[in-house]
Structure 1
Amino acid sequence: MTAAILAFALFSLLVAMAPGPDTLLVLRNCLRGGRRTGSATALGAAFGSLAWGVAAAFGLAAALQRWDAAFTVVRLAGAAYLVFLGGQALWAQRPRRGAAGAPAREDRAQEPLPGGGLRTGEAFRQGLLSCLLNPKVGVFFVAVVPQFLPEGSSPFGTTLLFGVVDAVVAALWMLLVAVCAARMTTWLRRPRVHRNLERATGGVLLALGVGTAVES
């Protein structure tokens, strides 16, 4: 059992390290509100992953995968949420005009950063919803967990255990991402850098949402 847990933990780490919507949200919210909001986003995504692990143990994820209509509804809801977050970021960084109609200078060091004041509860909710509305996480458990089940073990209990392992691994990795991003806060919050990163992450989230919506 120990070997199976370690193997699954390593596999979960490799999956967590692959850039995805959750990691992008952690980076974006860390930029907007610092390490606290980035960490809250990471914990929210980890709790979402744990919920999918529990659902897989009870067979809900497998049933969702087989029921095309329900799977499509969850997938489109997740895509719409990503598009909303991406569009929100891009809208916040739209060019503004000064009183005389000329484009406002956005690279002044004293300019207040848009998106400031993001609360930890909101950041946690964004991470949670981002993961819960991604049915691929449930499919991951259904498709991958059986490959690591030790012979003679309880599928239900082991799947629950693997769900906890995956959530812990994902939380630790994304918390590390949040800490590293927070250490670069001074540079990342320079208005020009901040603006370009917000636009980049917003564009990627928007593209991920559109891609999720149109994929079969």
Structure 2
Amino acid sequence: MTFVSLVGFAGLCLMLALIPGPDTFLVLRISMNKVTAGIAAAAGSATGAVMWGALVGFGLAAVLEQSAEVFRWLKIAGGLYLMYLGVSALLKARKARKAGVVAGAAKQTPITHSHRAAYGAGTVSTLLNPKVGLFYLAVVPQFIPHGGNTLGTALILGLTLAIIGFLYLFTIALVAYKTMKWLKKPKVNTIIERISSSILAVLGAGVIASGATS
């Protein structure tokens, strides 16, 4: 693979990163109260991208390409996970508000995530994101030279996507946290929490519907 090809692939990765998706909304929601947790989620997403590259290298992605049924269930699994993230976030927000009322607190109890939980959520979200899988299935094989080191090239491409995606999500995490410092009013916090969590749930429902009808 030439340097020109790598630059071209990096450009495609940047285009993919700039399109808002589940990973973007996940990092946005987690970062609102704890920026380091949002960065951990971004790192998890990057790890998932590298793992997708490894799957292509080992040929497992080719199996998904040949089996529409396997890919359909992957989409449904990803949708269920997104719905879980969205619904659980809404339930946690509701529980935190009730706890604040009982305690007589003037502010809401902020919903934070541990670094490990955030990292795991980012990793699983990317692994179960059918758009990432489709990107690898459609684009990555075109940059793997015939007769070359398939695994090594796929890992390089996966690492390229991971770095670009991480830098983008890292920026999202910082912006989200800085914005929340300005908009720290309880009502505003509640609205943003509900919207971002609901978007995750809706995205999950859409993915499930797409997988069930394909």
TM-score, L = length of structure 1: 0.85
Q: 2:138 aligns with which of 119, 127, 143?
A: 143
Query: How far off is 1:58 after superposition?
Result: 1.4
Q: Partner residue of 1:31? A: 32
Q: Partner residue of 2:56? A: 56
Q: Partner residue of 2:80? A: 80
RMSD (Å) for aligned C-alpha atoms: 2.6
Which letter maps to 1:195? T
Q: Partner residue of 2:4? A: 3
Which letter maps to 1:123? A
Counterparts of 1:171 and 1:165, CA distance in 2: 10
Q: 2:180 aligns with which of 146, 161, 185?
A: 185
Write out per-residue CA displacement over residues 102-161 of structure 1, whole angstroms, 9 at most, x where no aligned residue. Answer: xx98xx993133423x21100101101111112332221120124445687544432221
Q: 2:155 aligns with which of 150, 153, 160?
A: 160
Which letter maps to 2:56? A
Identity %: 38
Q: Secondary structure at the match of 1:49?
A: helix
Q: Partner residue of 1:115? A: 111
Residue 207 (str. 1) matches residue 208 (str. 2):
no
Deviates more, 1:149-158 or 1:37-46: 149-158
How does 1:12-31 map onto structure 2 within 5 Å? Answer: 12-31=13-32
Which letter maps to 2:178? R
Counterparts of 1:68 and 1:149, CA distance in 2: 23
User: If each structure's helix is expressed as a fraction of its own residues, which one has the higher value?
Assistant: 2
* Number of matched pairs: 207
Counterparts of 1:159 and 1:96, CA distance in 2: 44
Gaps of 5+ in 1: 99-103
Q: Partner residue of 1:101? A: none
Q: 1:124 aligns with which of 108, 115, 119?
A: 119
Note closer, same or farther for the CA distance 1:97–1:109 as it changes in structure 2 (3 Å cut): closer
Whether the aligned pair in 1 keeps the contact of 2:180 and 2:189 (CA below 8 Å) is no
Counterparts of 1:195 and 1:35, CA distance in 2: 18
Whether the aligned pair in 1 keeps the contact of 2:87 and 2:197 (CA below 8 Å) is yes
Note closer, same or farther for the CA distance 1:18–1:92 as it changes in structure 2 (3 Å cut): same
Note closer, same or farther for the CA distance 1:50–1:93 as it changes in structure 2 (3 Å cut): same
Q: Secondary structure at the match of 1:110?
A: coil
Deviates more, 1:47-56 or 1:151-160: 151-160
Gaps of 5+ in 2: none
Whether the aligned pair in 1 keeps the contact of 2:90 and 2:194 (CA below 8 Å) is yes
Q: 1:176 aligns with which of 171, 179, 182?
A: 171
Counterparts of 2:71 and 2:105, CA distance in 1: 47
Q: Partner residue of 1:69? A: 69
